């Protein structure tokens, strides 16, 4: 099989089952590192892969799950050596059936900051080393699995996309409450991973088929209908006496039957599953054709724990902005994060649903400060952020460390702006605000603003940004000074909705500038 055939999706794809429990059953002791099985017991490792291939697995996950620099420290083996030997064993087994071989990557084993001490870029570097080694060893794809921290998954996806051109499958493990160990929701995972460029999303480990099913259904609804979704449940739960897992292959197959209605792309097994599980699973999905009916995608912004569906009025708090605020400018120059965080918390308490973040002020190194502020905010508040800057490097630095799916404020109709900012939004999976303005300034006529909005929309779509992630700002002018132009905003707004089918955003408080009773006017 070729990787192109997997994505042609002519038929259902079968994944393999558990590796760790199989190695233990076949002689691996608790004193031996499973990551080194390609050196300790290469024939046994190859035999496990071969048994899964003969059971019908189309993709074999190489025994590289924990082959990261942290876990291999002190073993006497390098990442490259372990990955090369492990992929060779899987490749030998795959020759008989033509199965593909995946570079399997699991969590590093250390929490990323701010929850832990591992810096984000250090995590990226460790994953990148594994990816480069896997690509050099001939892996057909990268399989990121059993992740519980969305931030760590982002580091792994970026490492994969920046260091190879192989397809990237991602999978997270959820608890019975519907969140990962670190609190990430199914929806935040799906939309973030897809936005970052993952080629498939799935759920594996932790639970059995029955418990994972409702989460798998939510995952299929969180991503587009043509986006590949897969599952790899455990063989139930571990028995209390340590003698294995509580679901037989036959019961596993029975409990997997409801998944047929989800029109998944692929399925397999995780902890406790054996080649017999995979053989019976082949029967369950025989004749299934991947692909779900298309469904309207909401416009979503998220953090791991907070998923905001922008449907109707959504309030963006804009107090984290130094424009005209001397105290805020001073706080930024002095790196006073407490003041910034106070502004954030007060807006959360007032009911904001998204927080705008602007750190551009005289005497401030904006590219250096933006990621610091983003990380500080995300350690305290769970609302999605709108990264607001005219400095492209500051935007990229903020987008890189943001955990979830943000929105960028903003671009406009100038070709250079579009060329600089839209690729960043595509790479980091961000939504974009487009101002209906170009090098000519704010044009008074509604049709001129709509023409600019159309240019922005077409450029964003061409860059790969979905329509639901395009927001047009038709520009609100002051009623006190520009009464004639105020109506143009309303006319342009209506045209953008009807003709372009995009989302819209307005700084409505601009209209009341210089007038009394501003809160009442703004609300109206």
Residue in 284, 259, 168 with CA at minimum distance from that of residue 208 = 259
Least confident of 3-12, 37-46, 312-321: 3-12
How many of the other CB atoms lie within 10 Å of CB of 242?
Answer: 6
pLDDT at 3 over 80: no
Q: Rounded to an integer, what distance in angstroms lies between the CA atom of residue 374 and that of residue 396? A: 12
pLDDT at residue 485, as a whole number: 78
pLDDT at residue 480, as a whole number: 86
The count of C-alpha atoms lying within 13 angstroms of the C-alpha of 429, restricted to the half-sphere facing its C-beta, is 26
pLDDT at 198 over 80: yes
Residue in 227, 235, 296, 237 with CA at minimum distance from that of residue 262 = 227
- Please give the share of the chain, as a percent, with pLDDT higher than 90: 89
Residue in 50, 43, 44, 85 with CA at minimum distance from that of residue 64 = 85
Question: pLDDT for 329-347, tens place per residue?
Answer: 999 999 999 999 999 999 9
Confidence of residue 9 (pLDDT cuts 50, 70, 90): low
Task: Calculate mean pLDDT across residues 91-105.
Answer: 97
Mean per-residue pLDDT over the chain, rounded? 95
pLDDT at 47 over 90: yes
Task: Calculate mean pLDDT across residues 116-123.
Answer: 96
Least confident of 80-84, 231-235, 285-289, 419-423: 285-289
Q: Rounded to an integer, what distance in angstroms lies between the CA atom of residue 451 and that of residue 181? A: 47
pLDDT at 210 over 80: yes
Question: pLDDT for 355-398, tens place per residue?
Answer: 999 999 999 999 999 999 999 999 999 999 999 999 999 999 99
Task: Calculate mean pLDDT across residues 135-143.
Answer: 98
pLDDT at residue 248, as a whole number: 96
pTM of the full structure: 0.96
Q: Name every residue whose Cβ is closer than 8 Å to that of residue 36 and which is 6 or more positions away in sequence.
A: 75, 77, 82
Stronger pLDDT, 243 or 192, i.e. the higher one: 192
pLDDT at 522 over 90: no
| Contact indicator for 223, 194 with CB cutoff of 8 Å | yes
Question: pLDDT for 462-493, tens place per residue?
Answer: 999 999 999 999 998 888 887 777 889 999 99
Which tokens hold the place of 474? 């038709």
Which tokens hold the place of 276? 């017999």
Would you mind telling me the total number of residues written for the chain in this entry?
524
Q: Rounded to an integer, what distance in angstroms lies between the CA atom of residue 186 and that of residue 476? A: 37
Strand order in the sheet with 100-105: 13-14, 266-267, 229-232, 200-204, 168-172, 141-147, 100-105, 59-61
Question: pLDDT for 172-183, tens place per residue?
Answer: 999 999 999 999
pLDDT at 162 over 90: yes
DSSP secondary-structure letter at 497? Answer: I
Kindly tell me the burial class for residue 257, based on how many C-beta atoms sit within 10 Å of its own C-beta (0-12, 13-18, 19 or more): exposed
């Amino acid at each position: 099989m070729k990787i192109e055939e997997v994505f042609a999706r002519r038929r259902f794809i079968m994944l393999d089952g558990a590796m760790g429990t199989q190695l233990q059953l076949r002689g691996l002791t608790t004193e031996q590192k499973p990551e080194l099985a390609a050196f300790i017991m290469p024939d046994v490792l190859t035999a496990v892969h071969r048994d899964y291939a003969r059971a019908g697995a189309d993709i074999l996950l190489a025994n590289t799950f924990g082959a990261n620099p942290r876990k291999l420290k002190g073993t006497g083996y390098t990442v490259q050596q372990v990955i090369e030997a492990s992929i060779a064993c899987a490749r030998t087994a795959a020759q008989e059936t033509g199965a593909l071989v995946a570079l399997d990557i699991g969590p590093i084993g250390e929490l990323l900051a701010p929850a832990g001490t591992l810096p984000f870029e250090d995590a990226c570097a460790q994953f990148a080393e594994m990816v480069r080694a896997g690509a050099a060893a001939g892996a057909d794809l990268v399989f990121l699995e059993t992740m519980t921290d969305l931030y760590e998954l982002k580091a792994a996806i970026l490492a994969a996309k920046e260091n190879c051109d192989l397809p990237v499958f991602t999978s997270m493990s959820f608890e019975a409450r519907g969140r990962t160990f670190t609190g990430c929701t199914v929806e935040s995972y799906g939309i973030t991973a897809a936005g970052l460029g993952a080629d498939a999303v799935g759920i594996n480990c932790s639970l059995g088929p029955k418990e994972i099913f409702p989460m798998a259904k939510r995952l299929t609804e969180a991503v587009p209908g043509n986006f590949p979704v897969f599952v790899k449940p455990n063989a139930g739960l571990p028995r209390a006496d340590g003698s294995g897992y509580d679901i037989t292959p036959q019961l596993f197959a029975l409990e997997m039957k409801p998944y047929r209605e989800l029109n998944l792309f692929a399925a397999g097994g995780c902890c406790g599953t054996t080649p017999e599980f995979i053989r019976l699973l082949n029967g369950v999905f025989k004749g299934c054709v991947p692909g779900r009916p298309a469904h309207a995608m909401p416009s979503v912004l998220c953090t791991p724990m907070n998923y905001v569906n922008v449907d109707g009025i959504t309030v963006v708090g804009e107090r984290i902005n130094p424009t005209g605020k001397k105290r805020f400018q001073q706080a930024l120059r002095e790196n006073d994060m407490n003041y910034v965080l106070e502004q954030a918390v007060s807006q959360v308490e007032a009911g904001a649903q998204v927080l705008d973040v602007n750190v551009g002020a005289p005497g401030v190194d904006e590219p250096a400060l933006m990621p610091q502020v983003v990380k500080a905010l995300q350690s305290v508040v769970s609302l999605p952020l709108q990264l607001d800057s005219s400095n492209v490097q500051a935007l990229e630095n903020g987008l890189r460390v943001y955990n979830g799916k943000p929105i960028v404020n903003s671009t406009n109709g100038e070709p250079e702006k579009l060329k600089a900012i839209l690729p960043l939004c595509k790479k980091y999976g961000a939504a974009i605000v487009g101002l209906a303005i170009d090098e000519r300034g704010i044009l008074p006529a509604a049709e001129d603003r709509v023409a600019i909005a159309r240019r922005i929309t077409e450029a964003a779509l061409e860059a790969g940004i979905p329509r639901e992630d395009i927001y047009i700002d038709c520009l609100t002018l002051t009623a006190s000074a520009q009464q004639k132009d105020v109506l143009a905003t309303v006319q342009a707004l209506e045209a953008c909705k009807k003709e372009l089918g995009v989302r819209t955003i307005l700084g409505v408080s601009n209209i009341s500038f210089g007038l009394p009773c501003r809160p009442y006017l703004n609300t109206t």
